[in-house]
Amino acid sequence: MNTVPGFRVISLPRNTTVRVHRRSATIVLTLVVLALFVLMLTVATGAYEITGNDLVATFLGGGSDMDQFIVLRQRLPRAVADLLVGAALGLSGAIFQSISRNPLGSPDVVGFATGSASGGLIVILLVGASSVASIAVGTIAGGFATALFVYLLSSGGGKVSERLILTGIAVGAMLASVNDYLITRATLDDAETAKAWQFGSLNIISWPHVIPLAVLLAVLVPLTLTMSGPMRVLEMGDDSAHALGVEVGKTRVWLLCAGVALAAAAVATSGPIGFLAMAAPQLARKVSRSPGISLLPSMAMGALLLGAGDPLAARALSPFQIPVGLVTAALGGLYLLWILTWRKG
Amino acid sequence: MRRALTPLTGLLGLGLIVLLVMTSVAIGSRPIPMSDVWQGIWHRDRSTESIIIWELRMPRTLLALTVGAALGIAGAVMQALTRNPLAEPGILGVNAGAAFAVVVAIAGLGITSFTGYVWFACAGAALASTLVWAVNQRAARSLDSAGNAQTRLLLAGVALSACLGACTGIITMFDQDAFDSYRFWVVGSLANRDESILMAFLPFAAAGLLVAGLLGSSLNALALGDDVASSLGVRVALIRVLCFAVLTLLCGAATAAAGPIAFVGLVVPHVARLIAGPDQRSILALALIIGPALVLAADIIGRVIARPGEIEAGIVTAFIGAPVLLRLVLTQVRSAR
């Protein structure tokens, strides 16, 4: 294989090779290290003070009951959840942006996240169940139903990405008013719960919330990464991809399913975190200067953004905790405006 | 086919509105027969019917009519100004701007009277519409295809709405009481609005509608492009400023009065265009009939289908309007291909 500037070819067994974008690889490594550093910082600091020695002791199974409780059952699950949710959203955004060949085709812009939220709200408010599993069922069903609806409507012809985005916006606008309606129907207590969830917050996260997401990610991430080759080819257009031997329809459906599942799982854990899925792949692409959307950097960027953003949002006005989803929505909205206004072409 | 606004269309429209007003007055937790409605409207006395009609249902009905007119006209002006058939104050974030300013006024400054926060709403609407318009101008300049520019404007609106909505959300998080009234206000409701709000809202609506009425022929020229318009003797910059004034007055005041009601400004000009063709003067005139009819009908539907409760007018208009948006989007993209 020819050498391409900026890439490194790594030989694998069975006569296969992988081309690695050098800068991207460095960036992924840096982002992961940063994310882990943020994780440690989040666990070690906070309103409850704990010394370094006690911290180490706690992790090794010692320490007082209070230390154990605060560190292992309060801070650690939340910090881990931050990283996992961020990674899931970053990956999901990368998939959607690649399929729609457009930075704006991410799940939160095209209404999938709103649909997931509708599903979750229906479960919380109408069914009256607020356990993790039932909310997850709601968000995943809502996300898939919305995705199917938008995808079917937009698959008629014309430019795929444009249709997908505009249809998604219209469907999202409709679902947003459904969500508002559901909230007015509830009692104030239920509405407060639903609101805290709908705004995207990791305030009440505990291990039972984190485990299902971790399991799902463990399955979906390797699956998605194996599809990154065909995904790249698909970016060149349906005809070219077909000519190069990619099963266009099948690949796209699988990628869409993985993307929706990832977004829905994240929404189930934390509620919708606005615009993270849109921003993470774009920022990752900017930093790594890679030619297209790439999965691993987007994932690492998502994890870092939420891993750092959540503690900041939660502690900036302590003891009042701002839901991180609102902060990302406000910043992400500005970022989107900036993309629209100043990005060329 | 040459379509134009005929006196017959106008008469039919007015008849429809009278019918809707009577229905709106008749329907409620205590239904009033149509014959008594007629009697009660014309003979105001101390009878129970008359009190119900004049103190409870009439203010609400009149408010629905005025808000509908304001939003319908605002939508028509906005579509003419941006030359974009998908433009709408709700989707483009103008109402969200007004809503944000109102929440700031209520939570931050403790202003609770309509006459106090309506100014904030207008300022918010002005800011948001200017911002969206600036984005639109840049997008139009930097892009080749018209379809792309339309998408961009819509996306800018989504981004702005999301941003402002999140800021509003942060503020309402602080205050449970504010949230409790906010969640009912944000969906766009006409319930529990008394006569004083109607009276305070009327001057804003009247001023906005008056200015919009004078703009019709200039907007026709503007539809041909800025250059052609100015060569026809239209002062483009002045007309734009006036359009913004209209949007500010109408969207701001309507949002302050009834909450951010979406999609009215999208649907109304399209229906008007279907009936009367592309002349902005006819569109504006028809919007004065269709807008009020739509909002009042939405309010009546919301009161009827979920008895004994009610569904807010803004939610009903969203369910009417979102499919219209969907249809427009799908045909737009097909034709832009």
Contacts of B332 in chain A (CB under 8 A): 166
Residue A201 covered by a domain: yes
Mean pLDDT of B309-336: 79
Alpha helices (H) in chain A, listed in sequence order: 22-44, 52-59, 65-67, 76-99, 112-121, 132-154, 160-185, 188-198, 207-226, 228-234, 238-243, 248-270, 276-288, 295-316, 324-342
Domain that holds residue A138: 96-272
Residue B83: pLDDT above 50?
A: yes
Mean pLDDT of A91-110: 85
Determine whether the interchain pair A342/B138 forms a contact, defined as Cβ–Cβ distance below 8 Å.
yes
Residue A184 covered by a domain: yes
**What sign has the CA pseudo-torsion B199, B205, B207, B209?**
negative
Cα separations in angstroms, B321 against A118, A201, B52:
19, 31, 31
Residue A111 covered by a domain: yes
Residue A156: pLDDT above 70?
A: no
How far B10 CA lies from chain A's nearest CA (Å)?
32
Residue to mutate among A152, A160, A166, with most B CBs inside 10 A, is A166
* A149 touching B (Cβ < 8 Å): no
What is the rounded (10 degree) CA torsion for A61, A65, A71, A76?
A: 70
Residue A303 covered by a domain: no
Cβ partners under 8 Å of residue B113, min gap 6: none
* B169 touching A (Cβ < 8 Å): yes
List the single residue in B156, B173, B325 with the smallest CB-CB distance to A337: B156
Determine whether the interchain pair A169/B154 forms a contact, defined as Cβ–Cβ distance below 8 Å.
yes
Determine whether the interchain pair B163/A330 forms a contact, defined as Cβ–Cβ distance below 8 Å.
yes
Residue A322: DSSP 8-state: P
Distance CA B94, CA B132 (A): 8
* Cα angle: B190, vertex B121, B283; to 5 degrees: 70
Residues belonging to chain A: 345
Residue of A nearest to B149 (CA): A340
How far B187 CA lies from chain A's nearest CA (Å)?
6
Residue A87 covered by a domain: no
At B173-194, the pLDDT tens digits run: 777 676 777 777 777 777 777 7
List the single residue in A171, A191, A341 with the smallest CB-CB distance to B183: A191
Size of interface A-B (CB pairs under 8 A): 155
pLDDT band at A4 (very low <50, low <70, confident <90, very high): low
pLDDT band at B147 (very low <50, low <70, confident <90, very high): low
Residue A164 covered by a domain: yes
How far B104 CA lies from chain A's nearest CA (Å)?
16
Distance CA A69, CA B65 (A): 59
Residues belonging to chain B: 337
**What sign has the CA pseudo-torsion B113, B118, B121, B123?**
negative
Mean pLDDT of B327-333: 74
| Among B208, B210, B323, residue whose Cα is nearest residue B267 | B323
List the single residue in B162, B163, B312 with the smallest CB-CB distance to A184: B312
How far B177 CA lies from chain A's nearest CA (Å)?
10
pLDDT band at A345 (very low <50, low <70, confident <90, very high): very low
Residue A114 covered by a domain: yes
Determine whether the interchain pair B179/A195 forms a contact, defined as Cβ–Cβ distance below 8 Å.
yes
How far B105 CA lies from chain A's nearest CA (Å)?
19
CB atoms within 10 A of CB A140: 21
pLDDT band at A1 (very low <50, low <70, confident <90, very high): very low
ipTM: 0.77
Residue A333: pLDDT above 90?
A: no
Q: Are B67 and B193 in contact (CB under 8 A)?
A: no
At A163-222, the pLDDT tens digits run: 778 888 888 888 888 888 888 777 777 777 777 777 777 877 888 888 888 998 999 999
CB atoms within 10 A of CB B244: 18
* Minimum mean pLDDT range among A254-268, B265-279, B299-313: B299-313
Contacts of B152 in chain A (CB under 8 A): 340
Determine whether the interchain pair B158/A274 forms a contact, defined as Cβ–Cβ distance below 8 Å.
no
CB-based burial label for A95 (10 Å; 0-12, 13-18, 19+): buried
Residue with the bigger pLDDT between B293 and A71: it is B293
| Among A74, A82, A79, A77, residue whose Cα is nearest residue A48 | A74
* A152 touching B (Cβ < 8 Å): no
The pLDDT of residue B162 is 85
Domains and their CATH numbers in chain B: 63-336 (1.10.3470.10)
* Minimum mean pLDDT range among B48-52, B249-253, B324-328: B48-52
* B30 touching A (Cβ < 8 Å): no
At B200-221, the pLDDT tens digits run: 889 999 999 999 988 888 888 8
SS (H, E, C) chain B: CCCCCCHHHHHHHHHHHHHHHHHHHHCCCCCCCHHHHHHHHHCCCCCHHHHHHHHHHHHHHHHHHHHHHHHHHHHHHHHHHHCCCCCCCCCCCHHHHHHHHHHHHHHHHCCCCHHHHHHHHHHHHHHHHHHHHHHHHHHHHHCCCHHHHHHHHHHHHHHHHHHHHHHHHHHHHHCHHHHHHHHHHCCCCCCCCCHHHHHHHHHHHHHHHHHHHHHHHHHHHHCCCHHHHHHCCCCHHHHHHHHHHHHHHHHHHHHHHHCCCCCHHHHHHHHHHHHHCCCHHHHHHHHHHHHHHHHHHHHHHHHHHCCCCCCCHHHHHHHHHHHHHHHHHHHHHHHHC
Residue A90 covered by a domain: no
Q: Are B250 and B176 in contact (CB under 8 A)?
A: no
What's the CATH code of the domain at A139? 1.10.3470.10
Determine whether the interchain pair A342/B262 forms a contact, defined as Cβ–Cβ distance below 8 Å.
no
Contacts of A322 in chain B (CB under 8 A): 170, 173
The pLDDT of residue B337 is 44
The mean pLDDT value of chain A amounts to: 82
* A275 touching B (Cβ < 8 Å): yes
How far B156 CA lies from chain A's nearest CA (Å)?
6
State the greatest distance between any 2 C-alpha atoms of chain B, in Å, as a whole number: 66
Q: Are B299 and B313 in contact (CB under 8 A)?
A: yes
Q: What are phi and psi of B2, to 5 degrees?
A: -90, 120
Stretch 91-110 of chain A: residues touching chain B, C-beta under 8 Å: 104, 109
The pLDDT of residue A20 is 75
How far A194 CA lies from chain B's nearest CA (Å)?
12
- Please report which helix (H) or strand (E) contains residue A11, including its range: strand A7-12
* B137 touching A (Cβ < 8 Å): no
Helix (H, G, I), strand (E, B) or coil at A16: strand
Residue of B nearest to A199 (CA): B169
Q: Which residue has the tokens 């100043």?
A: A342
Cβ partners under 8 Å of residue B15, min gap 6: none
* Minimum mean pLDDT range among A88-102, A304-318, B2-16, B215-229: B2-16
Q: Are B78 and B263 in contact (CB under 8 A)?
A: no
Cβ partners under 8 Å of residue A232, min gap 6: A98, A292
List the single residue in A159, A166, A183 with the smallest CB-CB distance to B329: A166
Contacts of B187 in chain A (CB under 8 A): 177, 180-181, 184
With pLDDT > 90 as the criterion, what percentage of chain B qualifies? 19
Please count the structural domains in chain A: 1
Total-model pTM: 0.82
The pLDDT of residue B335 is 57
Residue B1: pLDDT above 50?
A: no
* B196 touching A (Cβ < 8 Å): no
List the single residue in A180, A274, A275 with the smallest CB-CB distance to B186: A180
Stretch 252-281 of chain B: residues touching chain A, C-beta under 8 Å: 262-263
The pLDDT of residue A58 is 78
How far A181 CA lies from chain B's nearest CA (Å)?
7
